[in-house]
Amino acid sequence: MSRGLYLFCLARSGLLPSFEGRVIDGLGPMTLRSYRDIAAVLSEVSLEDAIGTDGETGLREPVRTWRRALRHEEVVEKVMCSCGVLPARLDTVFSSWESLERVLRAHHEIISRFLDRAAGRDEWAVKAFLDRARAKEALFADKLAQEEHNLAASSTGLRYLQVQRLRKGLGNEASQKMREACLQAEVRLRGHANDFRRRDVLCPEACGDREMIMNWAFWVPRENTDAFRACLEDVSGLQAGGGLVLECTGPWPPYSFSPCLEKEAAS
């Protein structure tokens, strides 16, 4: 049975915690191997399991994949606590040390610069969800307040027509207002981050049927963490009751900011 190398992450040699001999679900004992000043956190894996006999990606059993994903993240986060880390995607497998070494040699400067940048920084994920019904009601209440004088002076029948007119088109207007609020929040939060990414918005099925309208990743220096979270709390407070909900998770390894090296994997 052919064996390959499962890559967890890359980091600076000499700064890593000890992983030697530890076993992760479905993988062999973990080991560290270095090319110049870059160390790879690795484990042996069966290439038949990893790549599949028909060319499709293996390691598909849901329970085993879920357990491996947890262990993968645990390893990467442990490294992140000690030094800058370049995390590999789940199930990144190389056919041999020589194939991984070729990648490290070809991209050494890019990897090295990234590890220097990653030291002392964490990724924070912020997602914006729109409660459309609440947003429409909040916007309607604002319009009623603005038209209060005119409505009070109108007859009952005319007032009814005016109120119905105010309700027309609230859905699109509320969405636009919330998107503008998101962009304002983005600008404020970016002031505390060294870098940021707009990520793909997830479908309602992946969000518990909630409507996501923004999905950000912020790369925040650890000395800015308190200011970043305080800013997020302030922005969230300004939107309280208006139909926009901001949710933050982290700190995470910098998956959204890492250079993509996977195209060389399993070669």
Query: How far is it, in rounded angstroms, from Cα 202 to Cα 214?
Result: 9
Average pLDDT, rounded, for the chain: 80
> For residue 251, is the peptide bond before it cis, meaning its omega torsion is within 30 degrees of 0?
yes
- The model's pLDDT over 110-148, given as tens digits with 9 standing for 90+, comes to 999 999 999 999 999 999 887 777 766 666 666 555 556
Q: How confident is the model at residue 1, as a pLDDT?
A: 57
Locate the domains of the chain by residue range: 3-119, 122-133+174-255
Q: How confident is the model at residue 124, as a pLDDT?
A: 97
More confident residue, 161 or 53: 161
Three-class SS state of 126: strand
- Quickly state the pLDDT bin for 240 (edges 50, 70, 90): low
- The model's pLDDT over 21-60, given as tens digits with 9 standing for 90+, comes to 666 666 778 889 999 999 999 988 877 665 544 444 444 5
- The model's pLDDT over 70-110, given as tens digits with 9 standing for 90+, comes to 889 989 999 999 899 999 998 899 989 999 999 999 999 99
Task: Give the Cα-Cα-Cα angle 146, 149, 152 (nearest 5 degrees).
Answer: 125
**Where does 122-133+174-255 sit in CATH, by number?**
3.30.70.100
121-130 β-sheet, strand order: 195-198, 211-221, 121-130, 244-252
Phi-psi region of 169 (alpha: psi -120 to 50; beta: other; left: phi over 0): left
Tell the burial category of 28 from Cβ atoms under 10 Å away from its Cβ (0-12, 13-18, 19+): middle
Q: 220 φ, ψ to 5°? A: -115, 125
Q: Which residues of 45-70 are buried (b: 16+ CB within 10 A; e: fewer)?
A: bbbebbbeeeeeebbeeeeebeebee
Q: How confident is the model at residue 147, as a pLDDT?
A: 55
Over residues 225-252, mean pLDDT:
87
Inform me whether the pLDDT recorded for 202 exceeds 90: no
Q: Where are the extended beta strands (E) located within 1-95? A: 3-12, 30-35, 38-46, 85-87, 93-94
Q: Which range is most confident: 176-180, 195-199, 211-215, 236-240?
A: 195-199
Q: Is the Cβ–Cβ distance between 120 and 17 less than 8 Å?
A: no
Dihedral angle, C-alpha 255, 261, 263, 265, nearest 10 °: -100
Inform me whether the pLDDT recorded for 187 exceeds 80: yes
- Quickly state the pLDDT bin for 181 (edges 50, 70, 90): confident
For residue 24, which amino acid is it?
I
Q: How confident is the model at residue 245, as a pLDDT?
A: 85
